[in-house]
Structure 1
């Protein structure tokens, strides 16, 4: 009878320990090897309030472009007669055109321009056309980049924080990877992306285990997106995690000792 009690006690400890083993996260588990899946086109970024834009104008006549470039810039002419503009480091890191709360920027000579909601390519074409129509630069080459694309990562993820995206393009999977991946406590079916739309915010839910994520409107992230991964249970404090680790060790040792004693009798 005593042996049965010891065995039952050991079994209960082992069962309880099994319950606290973290769930493993499996990404895209429904994809099949060697099968081609169609991809969606990358949606163009649209300019929002508080965006900071790098706008560089070049021309075959470099002096014509100088008034339209912050800090001037360095120009070079290649053998074919083409002109390229290399903005100074301070221009790329500290300057740029800040989109104000009215959605406007102040551009040299052309004045106030409403750019909110435009794509980067759309603004590029507009500036090039206006410079030509006003006979300021007939052969203007305009390059525009978004300087401050940031993604906020929150919830059951290894590294919570803000991601800076210098190349202005990042996918949801890339953002999760750069943040260290999902934690073992993550609800893989509830990876939310909160996005600014039409003057408000809208939440999209994604399942990181399913290939349908490639067709999600939030697979390609945009500036100011918030990625929130819902936890399966309440997040533990470091002290609680340490206690749980110690309990697991003690439980394992106790199970081994009781099993050994039971076998010796």
Structure 2
């Protein structure tokens, strides 16, 4: 009867323990109670000094737009990532074209136009701005603009920590975590740190992924060079403090103890 009672208590305890982590792991548990409209205002990732842009101008008559395509051209690779659930490896896509680097004042020097400010502009608004400027000289120009060095770092308790280059220059916190293979079971989902450097000013915020409120945060849409750190939980920290050779020590001690017992038994006989 005593064994039966302990068995029942054990089963009940395991059932309770198994339910708790699943609740903690779910993201945005109260998403239905939160309005999503406010997140739109934070979706723009503005261009920053040091950004590298490949800008190509085309039109029906390519000879007309030649003066607007500078001769300096560079080549680079952009990593195209598959869905987080896919086992396919990231693919390196080569890109090349007229390249412009945003200077410390937030400007680029564009052929025939001169200095063009990128302040408070994202990829789409900058394309529209250049299209409007070139339209003063060329009928119906088409401007293609790629931001080829937009990157974020994902560190800590994720499956694939590292630095990720985002091909389209726009991603969310969940998107970056997805590229990194999601949090491990040891990651603290209620205290994810995002560190941001905009124009030399460093700011940070801690995000609770289990609450849908975080989609209204200015840190939900990531910006250039954002760093995400997922803190390990108490179990992981305890495991890290344990000597990795502990198992070996226990095995050796067990062997020595067995030999000592054997020797004592022989001596006694």
TM-score normalized by structure 1? 0.65
- Secondary structure of the equivalent of 2:64? helix
**Number of matched pairs:** 211
How far apart, CA to CA, are the structure 2 residues paired with 1:226 and 1:139? Answer: 40
1:27 aligned residue: 26
The structure-2 alpha-carbon separation of the partners of 1:176 and 1:122, relative to structure 1 and needing over 3 Å to count, comes to: closer
Question: What stretches of structure 1 move > 6 A for 4+ residues in a row?
Answer: 244-247
Does the 8 Å CA contact 2:48/2:198 hold for their aligned counterparts?
no
CA offset digits 1:179-216 (Å, max 9, x no partner): 12223332221111112235301112111112222222
Does the 8 Å CA contact 2:152/2:165 hold for their aligned counterparts?
yes
How far apart, CA to CA, are the structure 1 residues paired with 2:145 and 2:176? Answer: 23
CA offset digits 1:86-120 (Å, max 9, x no partner): xxx86x24752111223222222223323233222
The structure-2 alpha-carbon separation of the partners of 1:124 and 1:240, relative to structure 1 and needing over 3 Å to count, comes to: same
Which residues of 2 match residues 232-243 of structure 1 at below 5 A? 232-233=233-234, 234=237, 240=243, 243=246
The structure-2 alpha-carbon separation of the partners of 1:243 and 1:164, relative to structure 1 and needing over 3 Å to count, comes to: farther
The structure-2 alpha-carbon separation of the partners of 1:32 and 1:189, relative to structure 1 and needing over 3 Å to count, comes to: closer
> In the alignment, which of 125, 131, 145 is matched to residue 128 of structure 1?
131
- Secondary structure of the equivalent of 1:96? strand
Which residues of 2 match residues 40-189 of structure 1 at below 5 A? 40-41=39-40, 43-70=43-70, 92-93=95-96, 96-133=99-136, 136-189=137-190
- Secondary structure of the equivalent of 2:25? coil
- Unpaired runs of 5+ residues, structure 1, are 1-14, 74-88, 248-265
Does the 8 Å CA contact 1:66/1:72 hold for their aligned counterparts?
no
How far apart, CA to CA, are the structure 1 residues paired with 2:60 and 2:47? Answer: 29
1:38 aligned residue: 36
CA offset digits 1:11-35 (Å, max 9, x no partner): xxxx9xxx9xxx66513262478x8
How far apart, CA to CA, are the structure 1 residues paired with 2:167 and 2:247? Answer: 40
**Over aligned residue pairs, what C-alpha RMSD do you find?**
3.8
1:255 aligned residue: none
TM-score normalized by structure 2? 0.64
Does the 8 Å CA contact 2:123/2:169 hold for their aligned counterparts?
no
Which residues of 2 match residues 226-237 of structure 1 at below 5 A? 226-233=227-234, 234=237
- Secondary structure of the equivalent of 1:30? coil
How far apart, CA to CA, are the structure 1 residues paired with 2:248 and 2:208? Answer: 29
The structure-2 alpha-carbon separation of the partners of 1:55 and 1:29, relative to structure 1 and needing over 3 Å to count, comes to: closer
The structure-2 alpha-carbon separation of the partners of 1:115 and 1:192, relative to structure 1 and needing over 3 Å to count, comes to: same
- Secondary structure of the equivalent of 1:145? strand
The structure-2 alpha-carbon separation of the partners of 1:153 and 1:246, relative to structure 1 and needing over 3 Å to count, comes to: farther
Does the 8 Å CA contact 1:49/1:116 hold for their aligned counterparts?
no
2:215 aligned residue: 214
